[in-house]
Structure formats: structure tokens, C-alpha cells
Amino acid sequence: MKYRAFTLSNFKNIPQIKHLSEEQIFDIEVVGEVLPFKTNNYVIEELIDWAHFETDPIYILTFPQKDMLSNKHYDRMAELIRNGASKSERLETANQIRMELNPNPAGQEHNVPEICGEKLVGLQHKYNETVLFFPSQGQSCHAFCTFCFRWSQFSGISELKFAMKQVDLIIDYIRENPQITDLLITGGDPMIMKTKVFEQYIDALLAADLPNLKTIRIGTKTLGYWPYRYTTDEDASQLLDVFKKIVNKGINLAIMAHFNHINEMSTITAEQAIKKIQATGAIIRTQTPLLKHLNDDADMLARMWRKQVNLGLIPYYLFVARETGAQEYFALNLEEAYNIYRNAYIQVSGICRTVRGPVMSAHPGKVQVAGISEINGEKVFVLNFIQARNTDWVGKPFYAKYNPDALWVNDLEPAFEDKFIFEA
């Protein structure tokens, strides 16, 4: 299949749009001005069930929905459009609304490492063992998720575009920090890069013979949004050869595949792509943000994890939605998230229980809601750091006052103590 993208400017050419009412099309035009909107022919033709598009999870995943904006924001943009406002007027208003949607959560800009006083802008180093790399050519995706917290990178308003070209600086940084074992290449989606570009990075990294570099991870949504990347794209087989090169060097290659729903694993091409990646010796681990309207269904999650294991994938994380973008639309409170996770977890065998959740990837670290309990007559959330900026916090359960409305760690107050361990 040849890739074809659809965005705000051409989505009316999608044949299946005939299923939508004029009002629904207008909603896309309004919300799509603010939240990034991009989908593609694979998503449209093979993933979405157009007979039931209004409740189809993949439709909700890539097409802007009216309720993703507050009424106030919606009305402001709708009025501009009805009055025939110019493109620049619409953009100005869109940027104002975006700024109110917390475009840069969890202070990513705090973890930009330095070398000889020079900031390495395309790197992020927060947890001892793992450094993140945002290659500049990987700052987009084959489609855009309507919940995405990286949307400021796509909509072009970010001051802190995490991106760099200088692979030499990464190599120096990894060499000078022997505690680093993992390089996580992320984006956007790094698998949007042409193989030629990706190969340049990998060749340089492998040639550097970094003794501490044991794992290369690639965070990607391609198995969900464009599995043809590994089958019929013109540089697909070269890409698989690059994967083999990494594996043959003795480095563990982990494809961190982002899935939202079992439907993304239901196509022949997705299964073929998985097999081709596995044939290179790479391992595929999966991560899923838990989102209302999309995948807040314990039975579906249990089926999804079982199917992943059947296909040889390893379930890894179930995330709580970030406090950004259309969060009101997607957010589940921590109690709901915990109950959904647990109700799915109890349905699967130990082989699937590699999945950890629900996890908030927050400023101090990755905080898991490990349970809801009663201690000395007080109802509490039991929390646990799976990763932390200070390793001393990891694996020591701590407690927050039960709060049925809490959506994120910021909404919690410590129980039995004045401060959380990370606030000292």
C-alpha cells in the first residue's frame, strides 16, 4: 500500500467522510485547528469500522471530536471559522487555546543533559540507565493521536523541540556516563525516518563500540499506524537489515510498540510486520495509555494482552493519560484507572503480567497506583515508584490520601506524613 496522509486541508477527500453529517465535519474543522489532525489510508481503510464510526476507537484515536475542546474554546474557534477569519487569525487563536492546554507537561525541559557546558537539546536524561534521543527527522508520526502529549512538537509552537542531528555528541555523552545502558530513540515516531537516515545514526553508534550500551529501544507507533513500514515500503527490507545489524552486534534491540486497542493487531499486515521484526532478533514490548472513550475496558485490555503474548510481544506499561491536551475528554480518575487495570490483570496468566500499571509518567518519576487500601481506619492510595529521578525512591510503597477525583499525582496529598518522599 502506498502511504497517503490526510489532514485538515484535505480530509474531505476521504471517501468514507460521506458517513459524516455536515455538523460532524464542521466539528473536525473546528477542533482540528487546535489539536493536531492527521490520519492515513491504512487507518481509514483497514482499521476503522465506518458502519459504527462514532464509537469506533480508532476513529476517536485519530479524528478530532467536538468534546475534546471545552465549550468555551470550541465556540471561540467555531465563531472565527463561521465569520471567515483568515488563516493567521485562526492560528493565533489556536495558539492561545493550546497554551491553556498545558502543552509541555512534566517539565521535560528539566532533563536536558550537558557536555562541556553545551546543552544537548535532542537528548533527555532522567533515569540513570536510560537516555532518550529525539532525532530531528523523527518528530512526526504516520497519524496523530488525538490525546498526544507531544502535540506541541507537531503544531510548531514548541520552544523546546527536542531534536538534534549531532550523533557524535550522543556518543560522547554515553561514553562519559558509564551508568547508561539503554538508548531510547523516540519522537514523534523515529520510524517515520527513511532507512538511510536511521542507518546513519545506527552505524555511527555501532562503530563507536560503546561497552556500556546494551540495549537500543525504539519507541514507535508504526505497528498501529503504518505496518507497511516493515513490509512493502520501498526501504522496508533495508530497515530490517539495520535491525539485524544491531542484534548481530550483541545489542538487545527492543521495539517499544505503542498500541491503544486490540483492533490495531487485527490486520494481516500488522501480523506480517510483527513477524518480520521478530525475524531480525528484535524483541517487541508494548505500551498503552489508558483513555476514556478509547480503551477503558478491562475485558478488551485482557484480550489485547493475551493476543500480544500469542504474537510473541511482551506487555510492558499501561499509562495514565497525561495532564495535557484534550485531557478532560480522555481522563479517567486514578481509582477508575486502577480498577480497570486490576480487572484486566486478574483475567490473564502470569505470562501477560509483565505489564505494569496504571503508571503516571510524572515529574519525579514513574508512579504506579499499586492499590487502594485502608490503614489505621484511613482510606489511602498505595503508590510505588517504578522509576524515579532519585533511585532511592524506587520500590518503596508510599501513601496518599484517598481522593476519588484525583487524575494525576499533583492532585494527591500525602497520608501519614507532611510531605511526599519526592517533595523533601
Ligand X SMILES: *Cc1c(COP(=O)(O)O)cnc(C)c1O
Residues at the contact surface with ligand X, assessed by CB under 6 A: 124, 126-127, 130, 132, 184, 361, 366, 387
Residue 132 interacting partner from ligand SF4, ligand X, none (CB closer than 5 to 8 Å by kind)? ligand X
Q: For ligand SF4, which is the closer residue by CB, 125 or 150? A: 150
Instruction: Identify the residue among 125, 258, 292, 366 touching ligand SF4 (CB under 6 A).
Output: 258
According to DSSP, residue 322 is labeled P
Q: Alpha helix (H) ranges present in 297-356?
A: 298-310, 327-330, 334-345
CB of 77 to ligand X, least distance (A): 32
Q: For ligand X, which is the closer residue by CB, 80 or 185? A: 185
Site string for ligand SF4, 104-143 (x = CB under 6 A): -------------------------------------x--
Residue 148 interacting partner from ligand X, ligand SF4, none (CB closer than 5 to 8 Å by kind)? ligand SF4
Residue 184 touching ligand SF4 (CB under 6 A): no
Q: How many CA atoms lie within 13 A of 141 on its CB side?
A: 29
CA 63 to chain centre: 17
Contact 420, 401 (CB under 8 A): no
Q: For ligand X, which is the closer residue by CB, 98 or 125? A: 125
Q: For ligand SF4, which is the closer residue by CB, 6 or 144? A: 144
Q: What cell was used for 241?
A: 537489515
Rounded CA gap, 34 and 69, in Å? 9
Residue 274 interacting partner from ligand X, ligand SF4, none (CB closer than 5 to 8 Å by kind)? none
CB of 322 to ligand SF4, least distance (A): 10
The 3-state DSSP class for residue 297 equals: coil
Residue in this structure with the C-alpha cell 487555546, named with its chain if needed: 97
CA 290 to chain centre: 11
Q: For ligand X, which is the closer residue by CB, 153 or 263? A: 153
CB of 325 to ligand SF4, least distance (A): 10
Residue 148 touching ligand SF4 (CB under 6 A): yes
* Exposure string over 196-234, b if 16+ CB within 10 A, otherwise e: ebbbbbbeebbebebeebebbbbbbbbbbbbbbbbbebe
CB of 159 to ligand X, least distance (A): 19
Residue 124 interacting partner from ligand X, ligand SF4, none (CB closer than 5 to 8 Å by kind)? ligand X
Q: Which residues make beta-bridge pairs with 7?
A: 38
End-to-end Cα spacing for the chain: 55
Rounded CA gap, 157 and 136, in Å? 15
Closest listed residue to residue 378, CA positions, set 415, 341, 349? 415
Instruction: Identify the residue among 73, 98, 125, 221 touching ligand SF4 (CB under 6 A).
Output: 221
Q: For ligand SF4, which is the closer residue by CB, 141 or 344? A: 141
Rounded CA gap, 78 and 72, in Å? 10
Residue 144 touching ligand SF4 (CB under 6 A): yes
Rounded CA gap, 175 and 242, in Å? 22
Residue 257 touching ligand SF4 (CB under 6 A): no
Contact 221, 141 (CB under 8 A): yes
Instruction: Identify the residue among 98, 126, 150, 322 touching ligand SF4 (CB under 6 A).
Output: 150
Q: For ligand X, which is the closer residue by CB, 77 or 254? A: 254
Q: For ligand SF4, which is the closer residue by CB, 213 or 218? A: 218
Residue 126 interacting partner from ligand X, ligand SF4, none (CB closer than 5 to 8 Å by kind)? ligand X
Count the Cβ atoms, other than its own, within 10 Å of residue 2: 8
Give residues in contact with ligand SF4 (CB under 6 A).
141, 144-145, 148, 150, 187-189, 221, 258
